[in-house]
Structure 1
Amino acid sequence: MAVAQAERVLKSRWRTASLAAGWAFPGDWQLREVDEVCAAMVDTIDPDDALIRLGRARAEAGAGLGETLLDLAALHAVLDGGGGMVAPDVDALPARMLRLTASGWADVLTEEAVDRGAEDPLTGLATRGYLRTRLGELYREPVAPDEGYALVLVALDLTRATGWSRVVAMTLLSDVLRVVFDGGETLATIGPSVAVVLTRRDASLAQRISTLRVLAADRLAVDPHVRPTGPAKVWSEHLPATHQDACALITALAR
């Protein structure tokens, strides 16, 4: 079997086993780092760096540690189980495989904790941690923010973009957000391909969402390298009744 075909077969069986084990969001399973791990396993080269990058990528995409390790167990079961049915078992993971992936995942959370009040260095938008802090301030006010605020989400499809074009696409999107929401709203990046605006719900919100959709499409269409990331998906979400639920919503939307 050719190397490229073997990698495709491994990835397909890994994905099938992971979804069967309970991976919650089939659409976000595929990452560039998945391909890197498959290549390392098929080519029998040292997979250490690829596993660390996979752990980081899963954390950045919003996957929890338990979900990440169950996905890793699905890979291990496929590698260890031949061509038949497999049963992923986190407890059966080799210690080194588990440690490297978990280490990569934990590195992202450590960095987020350090940068909790900082801006994202690439887009200039606030971090997810800052957004949580801002939401906490709102939920401590006498009037609950779910009555007067909303979240406006913008998501790009980065699966068809590579290298710096992924960064450029998010940078262009952040510029559009600043144009449309220029009244002191909180603008944040909450995932590799998702940005959010915490804004008041008022009579102009629907028009601003429409304007955001049009300007984002225009800006992405200018550069042929970032055009495949569009059209941007733009929508709004009501805030839930509690700060805890709001933070859970942000985590889910980041994916």
Structure 2
Amino acid sequence: MPHRFEAVGETLISGSDVLDVCSVAGQDMARDGASVEETLDGLRATWRQVRGTDPSYEVVTATVSAWSETTLGYLHQLSCDDPLTGLASQAHLRSRLSEIYRLAPDGAVPEHALVVCAMPLGDDPSEESGDHFTRAMRVARIGELARTAFARDETIARVGMHRVAVLARRDDVLARRVRVLRTLLDGVEAEAPPGASPLRVWIEGLPTSDASAGMLLDELARS
């Protein structure tokens, strides 16, 4: 089997649902730096080796969408701004965290926290169509509401594909501002399909070191 498509071939042979495995293969190819042409070549070679046919439209869409989202996420990390949402990029948020740790007294935990807004996985129309633009617009809307509740100098960034994080001072009005944000976000939840999981908002405390903060941010982006 072509490299990164071994699991796809095994799933085809077993007769199991292959779309999720194809998405993982697309992500892995993007992380390897493979082009979309190389990704499609590997997908086609796998299908022809196992089935003797070309992959279906749905399979190609799942693979290419995963490849493009992963590639786009990498490009976002190279910039201070997320080009689709207008929010700060994850890389910029990471830089701001490092700056805060440098300015904190030795051994002191910064007097800041992350306010995290997480869209539930699976309730976004783009999960089915592969349209990352739809997801980005929902994230941008969450960012706009976060800016309404946090209208000072806070950094508001897109973290991963489904989350917005606000780097805010941990003061006596933080909880009240989070409640305001939660109220504003009720309108976004009203647009979700019936039965969808609620949009989550919580305060994430910062760890004791800059390195640990970086790992926390990576974990928030992957979740």
Bin the TM-score by the shorter chain. 0.5 to 0.7
Quick one: distance in 2 between partners of 1:251 and 1:52? 24
1:114: Cα distance to partner? 3.2
Query: 1:10 corresponds to which residue?
Result: 16
Query: 1:135 corresponds to which residue?
Result: 97
Helix, strand or coil: the match of 1:240? coil
RMSD (CA atoms)? 3.7
Is 1:234 aligned to 2:201, yes or no?
yes
Structure 2 stretches lacking a partner, 5+ long = 1-11, 28-42, 127-132
Match of 1:157 among 99, 120, 143: 120
User: What is the percent sequence identity of the aligned residues?
Assistant: 29
Q: Which has the higher helix share?
A: 1
Helix, strand or coil: the match of 2:182? helix
Contact conserved, 1:172 with 1:220, CA < 8 A, in 2?
A: no
Aligned residues: 182
1:35: Cα distance to partner? 10
Query: What's the CA shift string for 1:162-209, capped at 9, x where partnerless?
Result: 235423321211111110010110100011101101111111111111
Is 1:45 aligned to 2:54, yes or no?
yes
Contact conserved, 1:11 with 1:35, CA < 8 A, in 2?
A: no
What TM-score comes out, normalization by structure 1 length?
Answer: 0.58
The letter for the 1-side match of 2:100 is L
Q: Which moved more, 1:158-167 or 1:204-213?
A: 158-167
Match of 1:114 among 65, 75, 78: 78
1:122: Cα distance to partner? 2.0
Query: 2:6 corresponds to which residue?
Result: none
The letter for the 1-side match of 2:204 is E
Query: 1:83 corresponds to which residue?
Result: none
What TM-score comes out, normalization by structure 2 length?
Answer: 0.66
Contact conserved, 2:77 with 2:89, CA < 8 A, in 1?
A: no
Match of 2:186 among 190, 198, 217: 217
In structure 2, relative to structure 1, the CA distance for the partners of 1:205 and 1:10 (3 Å cut) is same
Structure 1 stretches lacking a partner, 5+ long = 1-5, 15-29, 61-103
1:233: Cα distance to partner? 0.3
Query: 1:33 corresponds to which residue?
Result: 23
1:141: Cα distance to partner? 0.8
